[in-house]
Amino acid sequence: MSDAASATADGASLRPTQLLRRNRPFRALFSARLVSYAGDSLTLVALIFHVAETTGQGLAVALLLLVGDFAPSLLGPFTGALVDRLNLRRLMVVCELIQAAILLVIVLTLPSLPVLLALVAIRATASQVFQPASRAAVPALVGDRDLETANSTLGFGSNGAEAVGPLLAAALFPLVGLRGVLLVDAVSFLVSAVLLAMLPSLPAATGDGRQPSLLRQAKAGIGYLWSVPPVRVIFVGFTAVVAFNGVDDVALVLLAQQTFHAGASAVGLLLGAVGVGLVVGYAMLSRWGTRASMPVLLIAGFAVSSLGNLLTGLAWAVATAIALQAVRGFGLAAMDVASNTLLQRMVPAGMLGRVFGNLYGAIGVAAATSYLAGGVLLDATSAPVTLIVAGVGGLLATGVVALRLPKAMRRADESAATPTPSAPTTG
């Protein structure tokens, strides 16, 4: 634990501004993620536009999204194991440098679609490694009482940056074109790498000695996840809620166009409402989140995010749907902060990378599954029906978590409190 973390471990929790001002390592991590995520979302918009314009094929855009999001999720057990094997600071710096190098190659060559997809897949894999590494680093940089504030602050910065990215792309694209936008993103990754290099050394919690193979560590991570009841409940609950509700991005567009017969501006507002709710939710949680019980906040987040979709399906006007989706964004912020904080507290440092790697990987797979199954449901029924089904499914998953998580955590606490019998002494 860093000096800044030690200084706050036994005192009152800090406010977000205090944490950023007093804790230089956390400030470096926050700033690196802010710069990197803004550039990342900027590039996504630019590449989608480029592929759509040069190929004119929706399948090409779908493949771009597939290799940039879904495919790296399948590597979650291995990316998490890699995080637990290596120095976190060094690993995060390398991930950012790899992404910068990939973007520079794209800028210089503007490759054909197959090569572009391969390069995007490599960049996305580096990002998949960076995510669990950055989350696993948080407990080493801040005190235990500041975990809620730290996770909320990181969420606020990352989601705020992702929201600004498309706006930057819209402003820069007419001025500098695709190459200019991608170059800006490459520079953002280089800046992020410099900021991350300022972190204290974060050696692997598994030690520097001889380690098992990556495959064995990946298997051990999956085994740990399923063998610890509270971790398993959080993992399965989070994944199930995403699997039911991930279809909302597609359903909301059709809801605005076909049900409310709204124009493009209303569609944009409906899709952007969740982002507004997320940012506001993170801001509120960073200020007052330490007063909440994390298990209760997690269950409330699951419930609000699911109920938001259910009620959106019942909405009578597009303005009502926009308001409901903004509230739903607060639920998403709550479930993110609560799950990260709970896992950081209950999972040993040497297993954090694998738990987060598996969680983020499973979330990506669940979202892709939701797109596919939800698309079939949309074609067979309608957007309101699809949103209602998604919300009901999410609420059922929430109910199971509400029943199982308190019991699982209580049993885990009792097991931890039970002293291990000592070996008999001989005299």
CA–CA distance, 257 with 295 (Å, rounded to integer): 38
In a domain, 405, yes or no: yes
For the ranges 25-39, 120-134, 248-262, the lowest mean pLDDT is seen at 248-262
Does the pLDDT at position 307 exceed 80?
yes
Q: What length does the chain have?
A: 427
As a whole number, the mean pLDDT across the chain is 86
Q: What is the pLDDT of residue 70?
A: 79
Q: Are residues 196 and 227 in the same domain?
A: no
Q: Are residues 128 and 239 in the same domain?
A: no
In a domain, 420, yes or no: no
Instruction: Average the pLDDT over 368-387 and give the result.
Output: 89
In a domain, 64, yes or no: yes
Cα angle 267-268-271, degrees, rounded to a multiple of 5: 85
Number of domains in the chain: 2
In a domain, 423, yes or no: no
Q: What is the pLDDT of residue 12?
A: 64
Q: Are residues 198 and 221 in the same domain?
A: no
Q: Are 289 and 149 in contact (CB under 8 A)?
A: yes
Does the pLDDT at position 400 exceed 50?
yes
Q: What is the pLDDT of residue 265?
A: 72
Instruction: Average the pLDDT over 413-419 and give the result.
Output: 68
Q: Which of 199, 197, 188, 139 is nearest to 345 (CA)?
A: 139
CA–CA distance, 273 with 178 (Å, rounded to integer): 28
In a domain, 146, yes or no: yes
Q: What is the pLDDT of residue 11?
A: 56
* Tens digit of each residue's pLDDT (9 = 90 or more) over 162-177: 777 777 777 777 788 8
Higher pLDDT, 218 or 8: 218
Of 203, 222, 238, the one marking the end of a domain is: 203
Q: Are 390 and 243 in contact (CB under 8 A)?
A: no
Q: Are residues 191 and 265 in the same domain?
A: no
Does the pLDDT at position 107 exceed 50?
yes
Domain that holds residue 306: 213-415
Tokens of 422: 């000592």
- pTM, to two decimals: 0.86
Q: What is the pLDDT of residue 296?
A: 95
CATH of the domain at 394: 1.20.1250.20
Q: Are 69 and 44 in contact (CB under 8 A)?
A: no
Around Cβ 206, how many Cβ atoms within 10 Å? 18
Cα angle 54-59-61, degrees, rounded to a multiple of 5: 55
Q: Are residues 90 and 221 in the same domain?
A: no
Of 146, 177, 203, the one marking the end of a domain is: 203
Of 160, 175, 203, the one marking the end of a domain is: 203
CA–CA distance, 150 with 137 (Å, rounded to integer): 11
Q: Are residues 269 and 120 in the same domain?
A: no
Q: What is the pLDDT of residue 337?
A: 94
* Tens digit of each residue's pLDDT (9 = 90 or more) over 231-240: 999 999 999 9
In a domain, 425, yes or no: no
Q: What is the pLDDT of residue 206?
A: 64
Does the pLDDT at position 421 exceed 70?
no
Q: Are residues 372 and 402 in the same domain?
A: yes
* Tens digit of each residue's pLDDT (9 = 90 or more) over 187-222: 999 999 999 999 998 888 765 557 788 899 999 999
- HEC string for the chain: CCHHHHHHHCCCCCCHHHHHHHCHHHHHHHHHHHHHHHHHHHHHHHHHHHHHHHHCCHHHHHHHHHHHHHHHHCCHHHHHHHHHHCCHHHHHHHHHHHHHHHHHHHHHHCCCHHHHHHHHHHHHHHHHHHHHHHHHHHHHHCCHHHHHHHHHHHHHHHHHHHHHHHHHHHHHHHHHHHHHHHHHHHHHHHHHHHHHCCCCCCCCCCCCCCCCCHHHHHHHHHHHHHHCHHHHHHHHHHHHHHHHHCCHHHHHHHHHHHHCCCCHHHHHHHHHHHHHHHHHHHHHHHHHHHHCCHHHHHHHHHHHHHHHHHHHHCCCCHHHHHHHHHHHHHHHHHHHHHHHHHHHHHCCHHHHHHHHHHHHHHHHHHHHHHHHHHHHHHHHCCHHHHHHHHHHHHHHHHHHHHHHHHHHHHHHHHHHHCCCCCCCCCC
Q: What is the pLDDT of residue 17?
A: 84
**Percent over 70 (pLDDT), the chain:** 92
Token match 């997809």: residue? 117
Q: Are residues 186 and 237 in the same domain?
A: no
Instruction: Average the pLDDT over 416-427 and give the result.
Output: 50
Q: Are residues 163 and 231 in the same domain?
A: no
Does the pLDDT at position 57 exceed 80?
no
* CB burial of residue 218 (10 Å; 0-12, 13-18, 19+): buried
For the ranges 201-215, 216-230, 354-368, the lowest mean pLDDT is seen at 201-215
Q: How confident is the model at residue 51 (pLDDT cuts 50, 70, 90)?
A: confident
Does the pLDDT at position 416 exceed 80?
no
Q: Are 140 and 13 in contact (CB under 8 A)?
A: no
Tokens of 45: 């918009």
In a domain, 421, yes or no: no
Q: Are residues 181 and 284 in the same domain?
A: no
In a domain, 424, yes or no: no
Q: Are residues 169 and 224 in the same domain?
A: no
Q: Are 308 and 327 in contact (CB under 8 A)?
A: yes
Q: Are residues 295 and 149 in the same domain?
A: no
